Structure 1
Amino acid sequence: MKKLKFPSAQTILLIIAGLVTLLTWLVPAGKYETLGYNKDTNQFTRTGIEKTEILPATQQTLETLAIKIPLEKFTTGDIYKPINIPNTYQKLDPKPQGFFEFIKSPVKGIVEAADIIFLVLIIGGLIGIINSTGAFDAGISWLANALKGREFILIILVTTLVAAGGTTFGFAEETIAFFPILIPVFLAAKYDAIVGIACIFLGSAIGTMCSTINPFSTIIASDAAGISWTTGFWGRIFMLVACLVIALIYIIRYGRRVQKDPTKSIVYDQQQQIAALFSQSNTQTVQFTNRLRLALIVFALCFIVMIYGVVALEWWFEEMTTTFLVGAILIGIIAKIKETHFIDTFVKGAGDLLGVALIIGIARGVTVIMADGLISDTLLYYASSVTEGMNKGVFATVMTTLYAGLSFFIPSSSGMAVLTMPIMSPLADSVGVGREIVVNAYQYGMGLFYFINPTGLILASLAVVKVGFNKWLKFVMPLFITLIIFTLIVMTISSYL
């Protein structure tokens, strides 16, 4: 009997899209009314099922609509997306999605995710250019020798730095750029690809899960809940440190086992395939000249400039993508790469990440099906009714679980915040806990499920390294379960404080 092979990331997502399409036939259609702020006219726009209404941008308008959010949160731009209006859910005529909607969803998803897809492709081109110079391989060889016997420092540094980016500005999609760059470093340190994936992806996951000043989750969720983002700040700091330490211990222990005995690696059967994937040139023949050092400096500056732009200059995908494109051109000039060779190498590098780009688009297509089928708000409506009459501890646990489940359907942290917080946060008042408990439940629930969420970034991340989802699950499940137990205990205790 032929051994069954675990399906590829693209196939998994298409199966999920098919199941969600079936859900649109089973889950009733419905929608909340929304309220958006127009800064040009200084007015609110209330969008209902059949009509749109212009309202004065006043605190009285918000109070009339049972929205307990200060007006300045809208006028200062802290809340920049339309929010759901509580108590306005209405059932609608069913809008089930058929076969043609299903097969069109990946294309629609690719169009909607064009910004991040172009970022991924341009990064692929940049990596192709830097690899063609030999500078990166020479730099890796130097770093591997410098860390010899102290390779665990690499795990601590990478995981901690990525987590710092996640907790401060939501470092998530940008991590796609780091897999092709850092995986060879971990391989040179005698670890396997799983260790590299874990340091980058889990670092980002824990950072965003325990966001402290992240404007795309903590701040926007707190604003939408009508509380200051500093409420619950020290609790989130504690969670960040605790979860990061747990993850580091787990990764280091696994990494040491692989170093001592490579057959203990979960991807041991792919060892040669992965090594060949990241072996671009023979580092022994590359002389690490000043020209190559300058190329590496420009390469590193691309990421520094990107991070600074996102944090300080409100950059988004257009600016980030342009940064990497300019970086590739500068490296080509520094390395004296001929124009035709530059184009061929850049296109080939972009092509190497085309599969990753398609995965991102197909995952976005799942969200498109739910939006077109009008089932997202229905799921939110029923989720919000589950917590009635609960005690504090159970409420915190159930709310965390609900957000984990909802994140499968709404993987965007900012989207989840503005859609759910006006509905979910008032539930805390009826139970007798602070609204920061709901904000934390939103962060921790989404963050934990993000570890394995196929509609998130994990499948795209694994595709860069050609590692199967089944092997990732085998690695991460013990850590995942440990963090779930720890988080639910912390949430239960904090609900009584």
Structure 2
Amino acid sequence: MVIKEVNLVNRKKKGFAMPHTYVILVIMLIISMVLSWFIPSGEYERIEDVETGRIIVVEGSYKPMEKEYVTPFQAVGAIAEGMVESSDIIFFILFAYGMVYMLIKSGAFFGGIAQFLKVFNGKEAIMLPILMFLFALAGSTVGISEEFYGIIPVFVGIGIAMGYDGLVGGSIICLSMAVGFSANTTNPFSIGIAQSLAGLPMMSGMIYRIIIFLVFTSLSIFYVMRYAKKVKENPELSLVKDVNFGHLKGMSREEMDKLPFTNRHKILLGIFVLSIVLMVLGTIIGGWYLRELSALFIIMMVIIGLVAGFNFSEISNYFLESVGEIIFGALVVGLARSIMVVLTEANIIDSVVFYTSNLLLKTSKYIGAVGMLLFQNLLNFFITSNSGQAAVAIPLMAPIGDMIGLTRQTTVLAYTFGAGFSDIFWPTGCAVMCGLMGVPMDKWYKFITPLFLMMVALEIVFLLLAVWFGYGPF
């Protein structure tokens, strides 16, 4: 009885604690199930767009359907279905980290980081913004995003080794690519598809989008640098100080300075760099995606293990160890997908689009532009694919924009903002990033929410300016 009373007192002192990542996602799953009881079921007719070859919705084709109710038992079953539907991403995460883990066990990973830190000793404050800008540029121009997911654990380790924390290291690549992909300039998977569907010249409106890219990239760099400086001066202020990053946490700077860096280590890191080059070339030239990238990581994991001197049994055991470290994050992806399973089974996604678009028709062009932004943010919760969202939203939003006095360039801008930036906030979008970083979602939200709100404010400002000066071809 005494112990119970003490525990109760301790709980009261602690106050509210953010739930576990899995609990957050299950709560959202339950909310989605409840929404399925109240939002009418319905769907749009879809056809293939001749110019883009993508399946798009037909304006004015929405029709109600017989109500589909998702039961609690079906919602639980959606968890298993979500795991199955996202199995390609889950196993991609396992294989990507397996390759990195093999480098760690070989000694080349931290040996290489130690050499990196010696070269850039005292210049971390310069390296962070340079790296963030380069990754943002890659996302903004050629649309590279998921393709670099495999090296996120590497940057988590680099961030920790540089005296910051896993959030800083992960943000170097996760946040930068997300911002670049959202504030895009020539990204063919976002702006290219959207402008084509809206009947605009490809890559038009470039000057304004370059300004937007520079502003958002600068804001994200400033935000991460400010947090990094605070953590380096006082590690107790780190939001992830109590998070176990496993082998990525590595060792102290003093210990790393004593690490050997042999010729074998150099060869192993060369193999790792080669895998990154092949990944980029395969994605851009060969059209590789998760299946091919997973195959690449499996092959490179085995090659790295053999060159490191491990036999096949040791390679297998190390891979199993790596799965144990990353499985928390991998399963987050499946849980997040289960929310989509429920919404799809209830046939309410198109209904949300229909009723929201009807509301926009009753607004002025300024309110309508902001309304489109909010709509696209909402839609990004339901449809996480940028190209998929464009295929649904642009054929509907473009005519609405015409009717309320918006240029189609402004309508496309609202789409790119809403379809991109909220990826760092909605659990259906940021689950993969959190999983690969090994950062619980409650920690991520504490870190990212202030930045996300600043970004939303900036998005509104840029949209209103676009309406004011009639954003067109430049």
Q: TM-score, normalised by structure 1?
A: 0.87
Query: Partner residue of 1:26?
Result: 38
Counterparts of 2:23 and 2:378, CA distance in 1: 21
Q: Does 1:495 pair with 2:457?
A: no
Question: Deviations for 1:266-288, whole angstroms, at most 9, x for unmatched residues?
Answer: 33444xx4476522896466421
Q: Does 1:145 pair with 2:122?
A: no
Q: Does 1:233 pair with 2:245?
A: no
Query: Partner residue of 1:278?
Result: 249
The gaps in structure 1 that reach 5 residues or longer are: 38-70
Correspondences of 1:367-382 after superposition (within 5 Å):
367-382=340-355
Percent of pairs with identical residues: 29
Query: Partner residue of 1:5?
Result: 17
Question: 3-state SS of the aligned residue for 1:35?
Answer: strand
What amino acid does structure 2 have at the position aligned with 1:21? M
- Cα distance change, pair 468–205 in 1 and its aligned pair in 2 (3 A): same
Counterparts of 2:208 and 2:353, CA distance in 1: 26
Query: Partner residue of 1:60?
Result: none
Instruction: Give, in angstroms, the shift of residue 31 of structure 1.
Output: 0.5
Question: Deviations for 1:412-440, whole angstroms, at most 9, x for unmatched residues?
Answer: 21211111211111111112222121111
Counterparts of 1:260 and 1:30, CA distance in 2: 55
Query: Partner residue of 1:469?
Result: 441
Correspondences of 1:67-466 after superposition (within 5 Å):
71=50, 73=51, 78-80=52-54, 82-270=55-243, 273-274=244-245, 277-279=248-250, 283=256, 286-456=259-429, 458-466=430-438
The gaps in structure 2 that reach 5 residues or longer are: 1-7, 470-474
Question: Deviations for 1:322-347, whole angstroms, at most 9, x for unmatched residues?
Answer: 11112112212322211211111122
Which deviates the most, 367-376 or 388-397? 388-397
Q: Is the 8 A contact 2:140 2:183 kept in 1?
A: yes
Question: 3-state SS of the aligned residue for 1:474?
Answer: helix
Question: Deviations for 1:22-51, whole angstroms, at most 9, x for unmatched residues?
Answer: 1111000000011036xxxxxxxxxxxxxx
Counterparts of 1:261 and 1:351, CA distance in 2: 31
Counterparts of 2:288 and 2:152, CA distance in 1: 22
Higher percent of residues as helix: 2
Q: Is the 8 A contact 2:329 2:438 kept in 1?
A: no
Question: Deviations for 1:92-151, whole angstroms, at most 9, x for unmatched residues?
Answer: 110111122201112212222222222111112111211110001101111122222111
Counterparts of 2:330 and 2:144, CA distance in 1: 18
Question: Deviations for 1:387-433, whole angstroms, at most 9, x for unmatched residues?
Answer: 11433222211111111111112122121111121111111111222
Counterparts of 2:251 and 2:280, CA distance in 1: 27
Instruction: Give, in angstroms, the shift of residue 478 of structure 1.
Output: 2.6
Q: Is the 8 A contact 2:96 2:151 kept in 1?
A: no
What amino acid does structure 2 have at the position aligned with 1:474? K
Counterparts of 2:270 and 2:323, CA distance in 1: 21
Question: 3-state SS of the aligned residue for 2:428?
Answer: coil
Q: Which runs of 4+ in 1 moved over 6 A?
A: none
What amino acid does structure 2 have at the position aligned with 1:278? K
Q: TM-score, normalised by structure 2?
A: 0.91
Counterparts of 1:354 and 1:467, CA distance in 2: 12
What amino acid does structure 1 have at the position aligned with 2:351? T
Query: Partner residue of 1:17?
Result: 29
CA RMSD in angstroms, aligned pairs only: 2.0
Instruction: Give, in angstroms, the shift of residue 175 of structure 1.
Output: 4.2
The number of aligned residues is: 455
Q: Is the 8 A contact 1:129 1:345 kept in 2?
A: yes
Query: Partner residue of 1:47?
Result: none
Instruction: Give, in angstroms, the shift of residue 212 of structure 1.
Output: 2.2
Q: Is the 8 A contact 2:159 2:170 kept in 1?
A: no
- Cα distance change, pair 336–405 in 1 and its aligned pair in 2 (3 A): same
Counterparts of 2:193 and 2:433, CA distance in 1: 26
Counterparts of 1:341 and 1:284, CA distance in 2: 27
Counterparts of 1:301 and 1:336, CA distance in 2: 19
Question: 3-state SS of the aligned residue for 2:287?
Answer: coil
